[in-house]
């Protein structure tokens, strides 16, 4: 039987990609902010409803460089219920992550728990729009203004999400979108920073291109994180199909919800706030073992026996990683909800050409547990 994985990378029709890259064979311009790169920046500004986009070779380096552009010091308030990248980006910049707990219903940072964590060392808040569920962007901005903190969002999951008809990256100082193969929209590997203050654009440019201003002037100690033309070409092709793909995802999410939401002890973790335009990036489901009499791991095993490969996303918490365990306080007492969610949530398969019969089969296997 063919395995069904948690996601499947989107590819445009082969001929369309070949057509898109054909001109590269006459220009021989493979990278360094070429025509395709610049076209994609423009198209993403339109799609994401933002003014400024800087493209990167991947989302992680984009996030590291956003933190550098913001010139942070000391402590950054964030959550441990995220991908390794978020916490690593803080630590690799010589900053200390301070872990805030999350909310049970959407798994994003609990805005009411941020202020008690602020000290004189705090320089920024780095919240994550987990699963495309958005943080309380308005409250977080108020807190940041009150304490003069920067806000940089890990919006890796939130490509295309809108709040009150605005692009989600309109909120905060900067937002990072991951354009990795496994995300809603991909450029094979890739990342994008949206910033609301255009001054960040030149800083980000220097950071991703060695600080080279022109042939004889190097004005900043930058690294290299440029997106190349083949990545940008993939993005230009994939973008044409994205809206239709998000619609297809939505229909599948509706099937999951119809099948699972009536069952006591099972909860689909998508935000029901009608001000939000979702991107249906993931299908996270919470399994309450106390009610169900069966736990998340047993359900995951049962699915795998049936060639369905879900993901324990996110497990373990980043604060429990071997590389952080020693310096992190016990997450059972500092972030109990994050700890609980990481042990009881499973992300189920979801991608545009997944068949609704497969969704029904997945739900039947879960019900049989
Ligand atoms: C994917 C992801 C990243 C990193 O993005 P890459 O493009 O893979 O480097 C960062 N944060 C979160 C929450 C992610 O899911």
For 119-171, the pLDDT digits (tens) are 999 999 999 999 999 999 999 999 999 999 999 999 999 999 999 999 999 99
For 228-287, the pLDDT digits (tens) are 999 999 999 999 999 999 999 999 999 999 999 989 999 999 888 999 999 999 999 999
Q: How far is the CA of 180 from the centre of ligand 1 (A)?
A: 7
Residue nearest to atom 6 of ligand 1 (CA): 59
For 188-244, the pLDDT digits (tens) are 999 999 999 999 999 999 999 999 999 999 999 999 999 999 999 999 999 999 999
| Predicted model pTM | 0.97
Residue nearest to atom 13 of ligand 1 (CA): 83
Quick one: average pLDDT of 68-90? 98
CB-ligand 1 contact for 57 (6 Å cutoff)? no
Q: How far is the CA of 26 from the centre of ligand 1 (A)?
A: 34
- Look at the alpha carbons of 80, 337, 152, 349 in this order and tell me if their dihedral is positive or negative: positive
Q: How far is the CA of 244 from the centre of ligand 1 (A)?
A: 23
């Amino acid at each position: 039987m063919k395995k069904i994985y948690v996601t499947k990378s989107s590819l445009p029709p082969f001929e369309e990609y070949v057509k898109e890259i054909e001109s590269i064979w006459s220009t021989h311009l493979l990278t360094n902010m070429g025509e395709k790169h610049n076209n994609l920046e423009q198209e993403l500004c339109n799609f994401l409803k933002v003014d400024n986009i800087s493209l990167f070779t991947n989302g992680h380096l984009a996030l590291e460089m956003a933190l550098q552009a913001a010139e942070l010091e000391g402590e950054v308030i964030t959550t441990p219920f995220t991908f390794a990248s978020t916490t690593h980006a803080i630590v690799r910049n010589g900053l200390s992550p301070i872990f805030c707990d999350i909310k049970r219903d959407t798994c994003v940072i609990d805005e009411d728990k941020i202020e008690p964590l602020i000290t004189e060392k705090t320089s920024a808040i780095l919240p994550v729009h987990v699963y495309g569920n958005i943080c309380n962007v308005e409250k977080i901005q108020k807190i940041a203004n009150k304490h003069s903190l920067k806000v940089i969002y890990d919006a890796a999951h939130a490509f295309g999400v809108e709040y009150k008809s605005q692009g989600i990256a309109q909120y905060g100082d900067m937002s990072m979108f991951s354009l990795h193969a496994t995300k809603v929209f991909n450029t094979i590997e890739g990342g994008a920073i949206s910033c609301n203050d255009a001054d960040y654009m030149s800083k980000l440019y220097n950071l991703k291109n060695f600080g080279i201003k022109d042939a004889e002037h190097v004005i900043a100690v930058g690294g290299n994180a440029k997106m190349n033309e083949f990545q940008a070409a993939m993005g230009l092709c994939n973008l044409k199909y994205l809206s239709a793909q998000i619609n297809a995802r939505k229909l599948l999410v509706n099937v999951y919800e119809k099948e699972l939401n009536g069952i006591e002890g099972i909860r689909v973790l998508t935000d029901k706030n009608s001000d939000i335009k979702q991107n249906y990036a993931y299908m996270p489901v919470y399994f309450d073992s106390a009610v169900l009499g069966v736990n998340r791991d047993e359900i995951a095993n049962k699915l795998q026996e049936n060639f369905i490969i879900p993901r324990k996303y996110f497990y373990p918490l980043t604060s429990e990683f071997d590389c952080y365990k020693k310096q992190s306080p016990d997450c059972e007492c500092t972030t109990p909800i994050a700890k609980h969610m990481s042990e009881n949530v499973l992300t189920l398969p979801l991608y545009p050409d997944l068949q609704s019969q497969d969704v029904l089969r997945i739900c039947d296997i879960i019900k049989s547990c």
